[in-house]
Structure 1
C-alpha cells in the first residue's frame, strides 16, 4: 500500500513533463489512469527508434522514450472530440482526485474538460495544467517545448564552451531537463494541494509553466545576475563561483574535481604534490582562486595528466577530496554504487517479456515505492477501467467501440 494508494489521478497529458509527474504519483501508489487517443496514443509512443525488443529479438513498437515515463499507469483510449467521449472523461474526473493535462491554454474548454467545467462536477478536484508559458502573459497561447525553453529561459547561455575557445556556442542539456524539472515541481504542487484539501476539503487549479520552472532553476546563476547586473557567460565545465570545480585531463582520459572549500583545496594540493599552492597568496582562499582562475587551472592541468583517472579518484577519495570519473551510460549502469542502489530494474511486459526501467530515487521507510505494472500498451486497460470505475456493462462498451469513442 503506497503513500498515495488512496488517490486516483486522471492523466490527460502526453510527452514528458505531465507523464513524468504522473509516473511519480503512480510510483507512490496512486491509481493513475492515462487517457490516450484511440489508435495513436501518447506522441512518444512513436518517438523511436530505439524500440523495446521482444524475447525473440523483434521490435515491439513500444518506443523507449514512452517507456521512460509511464510505469505503474493504466491506459484508456477515449476520443474526447466526440460528445460521448467527453462524457466518459467527465465521469472519470468525477471519480478522481487529480487531473493532469498539458494542452494549450484554453484547449480543453471546447470539450468541457477545463478546470471550471470539471470543478462544477467535482469541487474537490485538484487540476494541474502544464503549459509552455502559463495561463497568463503575452506568450500564453504559444506552444512551448523543452529545447525552445532551454534557449529562451537562459540555460543555453550558460551551457557550452567559453566564447574564447574553439567550438564555443550555446548547447542544450543532453536530456529534456526543463520537462523533467517541471514534472517534479508539478508533483510538489499537487502534493501541496492534497495537503490543503485534507484540511479544507477544497480542490484548486495549479498553473505550471515550463518557462517559469526554467527561470526558477537558474538558481545561483540567476542570483549572480540579479545581484550584479552582469549576465554570466558560458564557462564550459567550470563553475562560476568555485575553483577548482571542473574537469581535468588524466593519463587515460578525464576526471571531475569538485573542491568545495579551502581545506579540501589544501588536501588536493598535497595529493597533487604541490603543497605550496595552498599557501600561495593567489590561491589560498576560494575568492582568490576564482579571481586567479586563469593562472591556477593550467597549473592543475599540467599535474593531472601524470596519473590515470582511477589513480586520481582513489587517492583523492582517500584524502577526502570529492572527485569522480566521467562515465558514459554503460559505465553508469555498471558502477557498483548504481548496482547497489538497484537503479536498473525490470518489469514483466505484455509484448517484450520484460521491460528495463530506471528505478525511482524515492526511498520511503514505511511506504516504499512499488512497481506494480510496466508502461501499458495503448488502451490496455480501457475495458477494465470503464467497468470498474464507471460501472459500464459489456453492451455499453460494444456501442462505444462501434462508434470509435473508445
Structure 2
C-alpha cells in the first residue's frame, strides 16, 4: 500500500483541535484555506453556503470533477474545502440570519470574508455575535482590513500583488526580453492571508484559554503581503535602495539563480562561500574560487554579472541530470524546475504523504494535496471530502439546533435553506 493510501485508510486521530466548532461564512480561497487548516487539525467546520449557488469556486472551471451530476464541482473548489460540512442557508432572509445567530451562539470560531460592515445588516457582525457569545473568536478576512482609507474596497489577490510591491520585484529585469512586472503563478496573497488567519485564530484560542475572552481578529490581504516583503523591504529600509526585478536571481546571494545546461534549465543556490568553492571545483573552475573579487558573497554580489557569465559557460555543456547528481554528491544545493505533473509524481512528495485520496458521500474519489505539518502525537487527518452543496444542511440543523424534520422541511419550502439534491450515482446504487 502506498503512503498516501495507507494514511487515508487508517482511522483518523481526533486531532489537536477536536471539540472546537467553527462556523465558516467564507468563500473563494483565503478564508476557506484558514478553515480547512482548522478542519485538518480536528475542528468541526460548518461551511455556510448560499442555496442554489454555494461557494463561487464550485463554478470556477473547467476542469470539473465529473461525477454524473448536472452541476459538478470545479477542481478549484477542492483545494480548500475538505474536512467541512456544507450547510445551505440564505441568511439574507430574517429566518436564515436567525438560524446563523443560533449556530454562532454555540460556536467557538467564526470566519467570514465579506466586505467590511457587510454582515451588520443581518445581525451577523462581530459586535452583535460577541455580545451574545463573549467567548467567540470572530475572524474577518478582507482585502484591506476593518480600518484605514481603503477599508470599504474589495480586495483581490491580483490587485494586492500589484499594490503590495510584490509584482515590482517579480519578473525579468529591464533590458531583457519579456521584461516587466508579473504576478506570481499562484494566488499567494490569498494563501499567505489564510495562513496568517489560521495562526491568529490559534493565538486567540490560547488567549481565550487563559482569560475566557473571545475577540474580533482583523486580517487583511494587503497587510499580509506587505509583511512578507521580508528581505526586500529590509533592503530598502536599511540600504535606501528601491528593490528591482531580477528575474530568477537573488537580491542578496550570488550565485542563486537558474542556468541553462545542454538539455534543460537547472537551479543553483549557493548560500555560503564553502558551497561556492565546491561548485567551482566541480565545474573545473577553481580560478573563479581563487579570484579575490568572488571570495565572499559581498564581492560576488558586486561582480554578479561577470561571475554569472563565467558560470553559465561552465555549466552549458553539462546534461541537467548529470550535473544535478554531481552537485548533490559535492554538497552544492541545486534542483530541477519541475512541472506540476512532475512534482506530484516526485518520490519525495509521495513518501511524505502529500497526496491523499478521499471519497465524497456518493463514492466519487478525489485526490487532494495533504497537510504539510507533521505532528506525531496529534496529526492532521482527512475525514471528510469536500462536500456537495447543502449535503449536511438537514443533519446539522437537527443535531446543532434540535430542529424536527417538519421544521426543516418548512424552512426548505420557504427557501430559507436548501438540501443537497439526490445524486445520480447514489440513486443508481440504491
Aligned length: 404
Which residue does the alignment assign to 2:54? 41
1:330 aligns to what SS in structure 2? helix
Deviates more, 1:341-350 or 1:209-218: 341-350
Q: 2:87 aligned with 1:76, yes or no? A: yes
How far residue 308 of structure 1 moved from its aligned partner, in angstroms, is 1.3
1:377 aligns to what SS in structure 2? coil
What is the CA–CA distance in structure 2 between the aligned matches of 1:59 and 1:35, rounded to whole Å?
Answer: 22
Which residue does the alignment assign to 2:284? 273
* 1:340 corresponds to which of 319, 343, 351: 351
Which residue does the alignment assign to 2:99? 88
Asked if 2 retains the 8 angstrom alpha-carbon contact of 1:53 and 1:59, the reply is: no
Asked if 2 retains the 8 angstrom alpha-carbon contact of 1:51 and 1:60, the reply is: no
Which residue does the alignment assign to 1:4? 17
How far residue 345 of structure 1 moved from its aligned partner, in angstroms, is 1.7
Q: 2:66 aligned with 1:53, yes or no? A: yes
Describe the superposition over 1:235-279 as per-residue Cα deviations: whole angstroms up to 9, x where unpaired: 000000000000000111100000000000000000111012111
> Could you say what the CA RMSD is over the residues aligned between the two structures, in angstroms?
1.1
2:73 aligns to what SS in structure 1? strand
Moved over 6 A (4+): none
Asked if 2 retains the 8 angstrom alpha-carbon contact of 1:18 and 1:183, the reply is: yes
How far residue 353 of structure 1 moved from its aligned partner, in angstroms, is 1.9
What is the CA–CA distance in structure 1 between the aligned matches of 2:327 and 2:404, rounded to whole Å?
Answer: 67
Asked if 2 retains the 8 angstrom alpha-carbon contact of 1:51 and 1:59, the reply is: no
Describe the superposition over 1:163-207 as per-residue Cα deviations: whole angstroms up to 9, x where unpaired: 111110111011100100000000000000000000000000100
1:241 aligns to what SS in structure 2? coil
* 2:43 corresponds to which of 1, 21, 30: 30
Asked if 2 retains the 8 angstrom alpha-carbon contact of 1:60 and 1:351, the reply is: no
Which residue does the alignment assign to 1:187? 198
Deviates more, 1:151-160 or 1:307-316: 307-316
Q: 2:270 aligned with 1:259, yes or no? A: yes
Gap runs ≥5 in structure 1:
none
Asked if 2 retains the 8 angstrom alpha-carbon contact of 1:128 and 1:205, the reply is: yes
What is the CA–CA distance in structure 2 between the aligned matches of 1:121 and 1:60, rounded to whole Å?
Answer: 38
Which residue does the alignment assign to 2:137? 126
Describe the superposition over 1:319-343 as per-residue Cα deviations: whole angstroms up to 9, x where unpaired: 1111000000111012111111121
Which residue does the alignment assign to 1:156? 167
What is the CA–CA distance in structure 2 between the aligned matches of 1:365 and 1:169, rounded to whole Å?
Answer: 45
Which residue does the alignment assign to 1:110? 121
Q: 2:226 aligned with 1:220, yes or no? A: no
How far residue 116 of structure 1 moved from its aligned partner, in angstroms, is 0.5
How far residue 53 of structure 1 moved from its aligned partner, in angstroms, is 2.6
* 1:350 corresponds to which of 354, 358, 361: 361
Q: 2:141 aligned with 1:138, yes or no? A: no
What is the CA–CA distance in structure 1 between the aligned matches of 2:363 and 2:165, rounded to whole Å?
Answer: 41
* 2:243 corresponds to which of 232, 245, 248: 232
What is the CA–CA distance in structure 1 between the aligned matches of 2:77 and 2:206, rounded to whole Å?
Answer: 30
Which residue does the alignment assign to 1:285? 296
Which residue does the alignment assign to 1:322? 333
Cα distance change of structure 1 residues 352 and 251 upon mapping to structure 2, 3 Å threshold: farther
* 2:312 corresponds to which of 273, 298, 301: 301
Describe the superposition over 1:22-49 as per-residue Cα deviations: whole angstroms up to 9, x where unpaired: 0000000000000000000011111000
Asked if 2 retains the 8 angstrom alpha-carbon contact of 1:9 and 1:98, the reply is: yes
Which residue does the alignment assign to 2:27? 14
How far residue 351 of structure 1 moved from its aligned partner, in angstroms, is 4.7
